[in-house]
Structure 1
């Protein structure tokens, strides 16, 4: 497969049909594997139909039955080891920090901010620097399969450049200009709360005016004459949305926090992202600023910033009452395990969050995190959950009443403490990376899995798995003596034989469940044949 950069998105999508294997999440505990499936994506970028168990010789007839005549649709037939999956959703990362990836291992959070992060972000006052770096960062993140991203910019108006680049490249994105008017570096702090709020209002207007999508599809819920999960669809259908971004309570004065709450009161469709309880020193500092307040989380609630469209990053050190408050406000959490390990912050108790029925997703939090893409975040989340389990395996488990149950974020009722009984499963991790991210972004009525009427944000994955027939021919039934002689003799490189990713090792007879799990834990951008957002190809190694 050639390594070719995909084209930038055109103004319109192409009508496409995909035939082969589809993998998507149905719930926190169930992945659906569909082989011999036929999925149609219309010109608006929405999923027009999904049929199961279609034989190859039936594809043309099934397309015609949907009124899709030959010649007006591009049919993409997936080979063995290829599959479609929903696009990955990163609910927390910092675009201006990517140049620091892998640097600063000696620091914890607050020293890391002072010594590395604030100096790096201050450089983004320069518009040329901002455009050069942001263009590279967004392209790299798309190439890793991130179709939706919650971006932090800087305090500067150059954050508009980041939003513009996301818009041009076709990524679905929430892009925020940081608010910071206290307790930051002298050279990197806004002059006043009033100036911060005025600049934020100007930024929001810019994004909504210049990054709009004039021909965006109607959300699936509105097409069906109602809502999904009792939620009212967002008014705006633009791929790129502004998001309020108070860095954290430490860096925002009461006046600034109150002003942001006022903005959300006036415009309930305006989301907000911030940090919460990432590091013990941060928690202590935040509490010192609010004497008498019951918790760090309550500080945000005091200013009306905990809402259904609030994204809270990290949440490593939260009490049960704080989790209850987040659940009551229907706010979402972005779990950033890679960063939490790297900055020695701690291990967030995601299972407890899920058992409370809280919306949870995954974030890379670069450059606190050290790798591009949500596959890395998924793997770190798995390790974090296993770390919690083996540290607590000798404790006597708390037993809940058999009558106790919780309606989890996927709408399914399960026994209390269900997720805390074990480490996070593959099914749960995949949910957090896709549908969970859609929920935290309040986009579950539009993206997250392959439901008819939703928009087609997807990855076409190529694993390089060989067919059973070709493998049988290569084996040839030779004797052990023959194989010993071959082993002693020089031979061709295995890696030169069409192996795109040396870390992803597959046998021809492995089924899709095993292939998919191996991809989640050893795959990378080399396995992404194409990346789609709203039906348009915006990345991938091959131009389709």
Structure 2
């Protein structure tokens, strides 16, 4: 199977089959903690993790011990150890969570000109989004982004679409067919848009309601959820925000929008909403800050704004590639985390030039280093902290941390297999660096003077800095395989 063979029919899966995944499991249950469990079996039924057994030698026996009514024929084992008894190259990692992705902008990836945010929207963004009213174009773009994100190990995505109702329903349909876990948002935009790409308040609200009803009552896929999507404060009237706020509260729906991305944008918001104390206060005043609200960027927040976000239990999507590409600024992630504010990662395609959350994590690492050069070492993010933001942090931001983000009994099995030794891998390791190569070590002692060995943490760091989609060989969402090389 090739990288292009990405979309699987969930209807062909054996939903009652008991799966046991066997190998090394790596995750980040807490900020700064990298948990590595070797020779571990994880039992999965109905997409839910039923048991985890460390130091396992017989995964089928583990499964039968969990449920004595089962026979070996009822169990399918997915073994990543195989002949690799040293377990250096392959491990399971939670599926990445992309908390901010403008799927409709993907054709513009890598196209910036010399723009900053507001002129970039006018010159590049609004025209491409408007074009996706053509469903043939939209289908092609959506399938590409879904397949691309899955190939990079992203199992959950919060998608922004366009203002178009039909294409938003199409995005939900295609996401369901792919098996990806998504939140789908029809962009709401009844103010300060170009004549060819704007809607009136009534249409914006009613089409949002139709998307919610379509996803919940017609599509009826537990992996697909609606998310109310006011583009950002300048593009929404007070009336529209109030109507959306009532919908959010009445129907218990997620919200996603932008906040404090660009200094010119912040001043524009202040001019448009003089009755509000600041940008955050606009969303708070009009009822859009909830524990299920995802706020993208949040680069230039004041102390007062951060306190409100913490009080409302909102989450922040850190989009470092986009912020760097558009010279928007450097988000103070450590400052947010120190206050107990939830932070995840967002690719922010297309201002972000990659669909890869791994690449986004690397940029988050680098941006924190740039901030440290101006401030203190305390603001640096470690590899394990960036991987936390990519998984458990994203789950917290989406208010899904009870079910996603780590390997725990009772959680959904959303996972990817990472193989650092995959064909053409960009992750290079030498045999004499690997633990367990005792005989080779003895043979090489006359040539090399005590060559340093790599720890498990070192190997994961090499993947973090050098890995890409070539290393993601299989992906599961809710226990269903949705991608493999």
Q: TM-score, normalised by structure 1?
A: 0.81
Residues 129 and 472 of structure 1, relative CA distance in 2, 3 Å threshold: farther
Deviations 1:345-383 (A, max 9, x none): 000111111111111110000111111110011011111
Deviations 1:136-192 (A, max 9, x none): 1111111111100000000001111111111110100001000001111111111x1
Verify: 1:347 aligned to 2:311, yes or no.
Answer: no
Deviations 1:409-454 (A, max 9, x none): xxxxxxxxxxx82401222211111111111111111111011011
Partner of 2:59: 59
Specify which of 118, 142, 153 is matched with residue 145 of structure 1: 153
Partner of 2:137: 129
- Partners of 1:330 and 1:3 lie apart in 2 by 39
SS at structure 1 position matched to 2:22: strand
> How do 1:388-403 and structure 2 match up within 5 A?
388-393=371-376
1:245 CA displacement: 0.3
Residues 59 and 292 of structure 1, relative CA distance in 2, 3 Å threshold: closer
Residues 469 and 426 of structure 1, relative CA distance in 2, 3 Å threshold: closer
Report if aligned partners of 1:105, 1:342 keep a CA contact under 8 Å in 2.
no
Specify which of 381, 385, 389 is matched with residue 368 of structure 2: 385
Report if aligned partners of 1:314, 1:348 keep a CA contact under 8 Å in 2.
yes
1:4 CA displacement: 7.4
> How do 1:21-32 and structure 2 match up within 5 A?
21-32=24-35
Verify: 1:330 aligned to 2:313, yes or no.
Answer: yes
Specify which of 379, 384, 389 is matched with residue 427 of structure 1: 384
Partner of 1:414: none
Partner of 1:233: none
Partner of 1:197: 205
Residues 183 and 196 of structure 1, relative CA distance in 2, 3 Å threshold: same
Question: What's the RMSD between the two structures over aligned residues?
Answer: 2.2
Residues 52 and 252 of structure 1, relative CA distance in 2, 3 Å threshold: same
Report if aligned partners of 1:22, 1:83 keep a CA contact under 8 Å in 2.
yes
> Structure 2 stretches of 5 or more lacking a match?
82-86, 422-428
Partner of 1:265: 249
- Partners of 2:291 and 2:187 lie apart in 1 by 20
1:210 CA displacement: 3.1
Report if aligned partners of 2:93, 2:418 keep a CA contact under 8 Å in 1.
yes
Partner of 1:172: 181
Residues 518 and 479 of structure 1, relative CA distance in 2, 3 Å threshold: closer
Specify which of 180, 193, 196 is matched with residue 187 of structure 1: 196
Verify: 1:254 aligned to 2:263, yes or no.
Answer: no
Partner of 2:37: 34
- Partners of 2:198 and 2:64 lie apart in 1 by 60
SS at structure 2 position matched to 1:273: strand
Report if aligned partners of 1:105, 1:343 keep a CA contact under 8 Å in 2.
no
> Structure 1 stretches of 5 or more lacking a match?
214-237, 394-419, 484-506
Verify: 1:360 aligned to 2:304, yes or no.
Answer: no
1:3 CA displacement: 5.9
Report if aligned partners of 2:6, 2:151 keep a CA contact under 8 Å in 1.
no
Partner of 1:244: 228
Report if aligned partners of 2:112, 2:351 keep a CA contact under 8 Å in 1.
no
Partner of 2:168: 159
SS at structure 1 position matched to 2:323: helix
Partner of 1:406: none
1:479 CA displacement: 8.1
Report if aligned partners of 1:471, 1:508 keep a CA contact under 8 Å in 2.
no
> How do 1:111-130 and structure 2 match up within 5 A?
111-130=119-138
Verify: 1:512 aligned to 2:456, yes or no.
Answer: yes
**Paired residues, number:** 461
1:333 CA displacement: 0.4
1:123 CA displacement: 0.2
Partner of 1:441: 398
Verify: 1:534 aligned to 2:464, yes or no.
Answer: no
Report if aligned partners of 2:371, 2:379 keep a CA contact under 8 Å in 1.
no
1:463 CA displacement: 1.0
Residues 510 and 106 of structure 1, relative CA distance in 2, 3 Å threshold: same
- Partners of 1:60 and 1:534 lie apart in 2 by 21
> How do 1:237-316 and structure 2 match up within 5 A?
238-267=222-251, 269-316=252-299
- Partners of 2:335 and 2:32 lie apart in 1 by 16
- Asked which structure has the greater CA Rg, the reply is 1
Specify which of 41, 51, 55 is matched with residue 49 of structure 1: 51
SS at structure 1 position matched to 2:28: strand
- Partners of 2:113 and 2:142 lie apart in 1 by 24
Q: TM-score, normalised by structure 2?
A: 0.90
- Partners of 1:60 and 1:261 lie apart in 2 by 50
SS at structure 1 position matched to 2:92: strand
1:105 CA displacement: 3.5
Moved more, 168-177 or 426-435: 426-435
